[in-house]
Chains A and B, each alone.
Chain A
Amino acid sequence: MKHFHDHLDSGGALTSSFMTLWKEGDSLEGGFEQEAVRPEDGATVRRTGWSHFNPETNMEDTRDTWEIIKDGVMIQSEVHAQSPATRSYTQDDAIALFEQAGFKEIQIFSEFTFEPVKPEDTLFTVLGIKP
């Protein structure tokens, strides 16, 4: 953050999005499955996602398995794994990062909108100005 601050001219803006990936009481493991039909040949494209959050490091590992299934047979598969994949920030964490780097006029928005952030938002965008 300090590098960004040093790089900017006075009046310059920095914006960044953040996610809160986990809170006390949440499961450390998560997962999802998505399917779509490939128009060209009617094959099913399936994505199976897995994630694990480490509260000690505040980071998440992810693994995505992509499969193409045609006529009931899996014909191709890829596994993409990232460790770590993402760092988690609370809204207070993110604002503190901007403040510590020297940014002022800090604004925080809900998700990727111009709406003010809500306390329950786990995806938010922060914007700060270099004085």
Chain B
Amino acid sequence: MKILIIGGTRFLGRHLVNSARARRHEVTLFNRGQTNPDLFGKVKSIRGDREKDLDQLSGQWDAVIDTCGYLPRVVRMSAEALKDKAGKYVFISSISVYADFKRSGFGKVIPLGSSKMRRWRK
């Protein structure tokens, strides 16, 4: 498979890159090159900021794995930009998106929660 990994040099991304390469998948990285830029010297890398350089992503991939999205707006931008360029878009999120994970062993369909936020302006 041709896999585009957004991020890929820190957190879990580096393990995804290793695992994909071990299975002979063709991996491309898209990141700013600010964190461990030489970690995967032989892997094709596209340098760019996901907030403003998505037009650098000219190619076709079987799957995109997004390992570094912190804001819904930003993930929406990349998902939109890649919708005709990738078979699947996999976003690595956090268990904190679930409304309640006090109990373990829940099923595949789980209610989502939201951060309880109070906002005021003086």
Contacts and interface: CB of A to CB of B under 8 A. Distances in A.
Interface residues of A, number: 28
Interface of A: 3, 11, 13, 15-17, 57, 59, 73-87, 109, 112, 114, 125, 127
Give the interface centre of B12, B14, B15, B120 by most chain A CB atoms within 10 Å.
B15
Contacts of B19: 13, 15, 127
A125 B19 CA distance: 14
Mostly, the B contact residues are mixed
A17 B101 CA distance: 17
Interface residues of B, number: 22
Interface in B78-110: 95-96, 101-102, 108
Contacts of B120: 76-77
Contact of A75 (B10, B16, B121): B121
Given A13-B19, A82-B96, A125 B12 contact: yes
A74 B121 CA distance: 9
13 contacts: A15-B12, A15-B19, A76-B122, A77-B119, A77-B122, A80-B117, A81-B115, A82-B96, A82-B115, A82-B116, A83-B116, A112-B12, A127-B15
B101 A87 contact: yes
